[in-house]
Amino acid sequence: MFGIRTRRPPPFGDIHINDDKDIEIHRPEEASRNNLWSEARLLLRDLVFALMIAALVVVFIVQPVKVEGTSMLPRLHDGERIFVNKLIYYDEYRWAPKVERGDIVVFWYPEDPSKSYIKRVVGLPGDTVEVREGNVLINGTILEEKYLDPRENLSTRSQAPVYVKPNYYFVMGDNRDNSSDSRSWGLVPKKYIYGKALLRYWPLSAASVIHHEDLAPSPPPPDTQQGQLTPGSLE
């Protein structure tokens, strides 16, 4: 009131924080800010690490691909999006998956490698592939293809036998009446195949695993095995 300042007593009685340098001072507000910043740095680190892992997976293991066209009906539809397995690039390792008959693969178009095609592997290296009256024959025996839609495979055209050279594949679309494939432009080099269809992820209503079709040429009839042809035989 008269300009006289009263001195506040020390917060701890006669003890002041400067009396002992070893006294630990707690400042809750500063500690809270430091903890928040530490948590933010940890979150940022984990996010960067997750993005790096995702990038490595996309580059070396799987890749999203958009299906364009109707050549793979009824299994794949125009506009669908799938993941493909890129590990077939590394088939020199025993653990890596191999390209097998029945696989749906993505590859660079042999006549224009700037374009990508998606087809099914029908003929393997060393096979002789023939199309006779709409039926596919592998080494002289009919290939059973239960996944085909008869409404999309009405053509009964034939094609001369084609020998599949080493490191090459004979591919065809499942929609045989509307597919540009090895029947018209030839074999696909192994080095051009860069993905195997694994999973359909879009649209969500159709999301599903793309199962491998176990394709094996049907055994010839018993009479054919003995060198005798039955009436109506394709031999």
Nearest 10 degrees: CA dihedral of 137, 138, 142, 146?
-100
Q: What is the side-by-side order of every strand in the sheet holding 128-132?
A: 141-142, 135-138, 128-132, 159-163
In whole angstroms, what is the distance from residue 70 CA to residue 41 CA?
A: 49
Euclidean distance between the first and the last CA atom of the chain, given in angstroms as a whole number:
122
Q: Given 32, 38, 66, 71, which residue is catalytic?
A: 71
In whole angstroms, what is the distance from residue 157 CA to residue 135 CA?
A: 9
CB 82 within 8 A of CB 200: yes
Tell me whether residue 71 is one of the annotated catalytic residues. yes
Q: Given 86, 119, 179, 196, which residue is catalytic?
A: 119
Task: Indicate which residues carry an active-site annotation.
Answer: 71, 119
